Amino acid sequence: MAPPFRNDHVGSLLRPKELLDARASLESPSQMYSLEIPESAKAAEREAIRKVVQIQIQKGIRTITDGEYARHIYYGGFFENLAGFQARPTLPIPDAFRTDFPTTTRLAEMGAKTRAAVVCTGKIAYKESPYLSEWLSLRENLPQNLWSAAKFTVPAPTYQHIQLKPGTAWTAESGYASDEEYLDDIAKCYAAELQTLYDAGLRNIQVDDPHLTYFASSAFLEGCRKDGTNTDELLDLYTRTHNKLLAHKPKDLHMGMHLCRGNMSGSVHWVEGSYEVIAKKLFNETDYETYYLEFDEIERAGGFEPLRFLPGGKNVVLGLISTKKVELEDPRVIKEKIQMAAKVIADAQGVTITEALDCLAVSPQCGFSSSSLAGGKGMTEEIMWEKLELVKAVADEVWG
């Protein structure tokens, strides 16, 4: 097995000024989950998507995405469109959230008093596709022979649960008696969404779960302890949830998982720590085919050693190009890092470097704009395209 493409990117792209202007009234945190989008903003989204898709086609950038232009933030649009969920735009920090949760702790340091989330208020059910319209908006800009070159992103099924204090994500009044029941119903909705998108021609989906890296954060682990949460059991629950949504996916639907440490406005990241503590479980106990991992800075993300746990038949897309820094990476250094990663895998699996390279690809370490207003400090659209073209050039040299 090999990754679908040797040059890839995580999905989100810097929003053009025209789109930001058209959605100016929707960009506040309290509007993060807004379901009422003015037609003028929708028209701007469609035009921005048309343009960004054409640029990717012209430059040979793969995979092709819509830049997440239809969303304020990467996880928007899913939970709030399921039956049984309700958006809460101003949940109090820290009371509604896990103790010492890295994201809300950092937001509080920046002066935030509230944060938007989506809570369960009744039985969760799939009523209609949350994302079909977004996929169709991307698809309509592609000839059918390029549908397979597209990738679509969805948030992790655990996104709301991991950040909310126990007793907040769902309550007994919502009809649930355990986290397992709550997450089982979410997994069923995801499975239904995968089938809907597949039936509409999509063949490549990336699940964004940066919060799994929090299990390498001492602040998160200690906060869970204070809340009475066993983090080993919590991680087991989350990996099982991922596998449940994948259990009946179509065989030719490629599924990947992206894990990073955040890229918010001004190059802010939320946590630090190597993949070491979660890599064995991640690679061997989740049923994803490909993992998109962050490796641009050893100081923040650690080295390639955790790749020794990667089993044969699975892939890793090495996030070696920074979306946080404007400086263009040296392609020679990137190629050296790819070889280093391949050697770790080759030594662990008992294969040649060439064979190990076959399960690797290269990309930026995170999206360029996880939310509409976010982005690396000083990052511009021109630099973004230069970085994506660098990814392609390096991939062409390494894999041909």
Residue 2 resides in a domain: no
Whether the per-residue pLDDT at 267 is higher than 50: the answer is: no
Contacts 24+ apart (CB under 8 A), 337-344: 337/295, 337/304, 338/362, 338/394, 338/398, 340/304, 341/295, 341/304, 341/307, 341/316, 344/304, 344/305, 344/307, 344/308
Q: Name the pLDDT band for 271 (thresholds 50, 70, 90).
A: low
Please indicate, yes or no, if residue 10 is contained in any of the structural domains.
no
pLDDT tens for residues 19-39? 998 888 765 554 566 667 788
> Per mean pLDDT, which range of 3-12, 25-34, 322-331, 335-344 is the poorest?
25-34
Residue 382 lies in a domain: yes
Q: Of residues 98 and 302, which shows the higher confidence score? A: 98
Return the half-sphere exposure (C-beta side, CA atoms, 13 A cut-off) of residue 166: 15
Angstrom distance (rounded) from CA 218 to CA 146: 44
Q: Average per-residue pLDDT in the chain?
A: 92
Residues, the chain, total? 400
Residue 56: inside a domain, yes or no?
Answer: yes
Phi and psi for 258 in degrees, rounded to 5?
-110, 130
pLDDT the model gives residue 75: 93
Give percent of the chain above pLDDT 90: 82
Its domain, for residue 142, covers 17-399
Closest CA to 293 of 399, 224, 351, 208: 208
**Total of domains in the chain:** 1
Q: Is the pLDDT of residue 270 over 90?
A: no
d(CA 251, CA 134): 23
Per the domain annotation, does 25 fall within a domain? yes
Given this model, what pLDDT does residue 376 score? 81
Q: Is residue 3 part of a domain?
A: no
Per-residue pLDDT of 184-200, as tens digits, reads 999 999 999 999 999 99
Q: Where are the alpha helices (DSSP H) in the chain?
A: 17-22, 39-59, 102-109, 132-139, 159-163, 179-199, 218-226, 231-246, 276-285, 298-301, 331-349, 353-357, 381-399
Is 386 among the domain residues? yes
Domain presence at residue 6: no
* CATH number, domain with residue 249: 3.20.20.210
